[in-house]
Chains A and B, each alone.
Chain A
Amino acid sequence: MTESDLSSVWVYLSATPLLGLTITLVAYSIAYRIYIFMDSNPLLNPVISSVAVLIIFLLITDTPYSAYFEGGQFVHFLLGPATVALAVPLYQQFTKLRKLWLPLSIALVSGVVIGALSSIGIARLLGASLQTQLSLAPKSVTAPVAMGISEQIGGLPSLTAVFVVATGIIGAVLGSRLFKLMKIEDDSVKGIAMGITAHGIGTARAFQISREMGAFSGLAMALSAFTTAIILPWLLDLTGLLR
């Protein structure tokens, strides 16, 4: 095979969605196997390692993100039906949920407010640009919702998507340790804190711990998407007046 043969193969591959889709699945399944093999070490979270490997691959081959996303979008698209699918575990936990509605709503509103204000406040103190601060504000909400909110309040939606994923990973990695530190054993409390803070990635982690924790995390994530979409623009107006 000559070099020009190789490059024509590459031209073909990089023009179809097949490559983007396949490398996503391959990178993830290898990352997932390593993660399981290493006793689910949180630092080897499959999202971190597969994202890192894919970025390195795209940079080395000089492939733009838009070309990769031609294939990646098929995986990305499934976030929609997966969000709808959360209704099933929620339904299965509904009796327990009804008993918890009051502490849940209080935790939800305070979690949303604390999450947004702490990120803006800390970023401002450390001298981040206004655009970065605003892009950080909805970081605890599931990606499609956070991107919409970010656009509404003057952030950069695609930058927000990155912060959302990072927040989810941090939450998934640190969550169990923090709960152990606080001596919390109740799966419903852990799930709710996880879902409010670390949305879908935290929920994915919660499902690995127990189905109950996953269901509560999924619920909390859905409710906080609602709550943040309603509260955040109003909250920013209010704090803007205070300053």
Chain B
Amino acid sequence: MTASTTVRLQREPFDVAAEAAKLSRGRADVGAVVTFTGICRGNEDGEPIAALTLEHYPGMAEAEIERHVEEAKQRWPLAGVTVIHRYGRIAPGEDIVMVVTASSHRQAAFAAAEFLMDYLKTRAPFWKQVETTSGKSWVDAKSVDDAAAKRWRKAAVE
């Protein structure tokens, strides 16, 4: 199965439906497309927020995501993967990140999308700063995200 890969970092919003459609258009081997969208919440730890600002390490962020897309393609039979991550200032309700995976069957598409998100959160060099009425602060990494990424180390290949 030849898999198309797109990894993009951008300031601008993205169109999830258009990106998902690209992965199945004109192909007869795609039977499942899974999309995940991460959205900026309106509050953090109960406090309303004005916006998030995402900082990233240009060059390394793309490389790190691409490395994990390659690993996903080794582990599951994928027809295509698209990952788009935004940076800069993002208001509540706006999209932050999207992962689309395409495969012949749903299991591989679901698993690969979850694997990619779990690794993206703990290994891709992005940092969120939250803006509230009381000022700006950096978001702390969550141990639950580390645990989510770790479980894939021993997971059997589907």
- Judge: A and B partners, yes or no: no
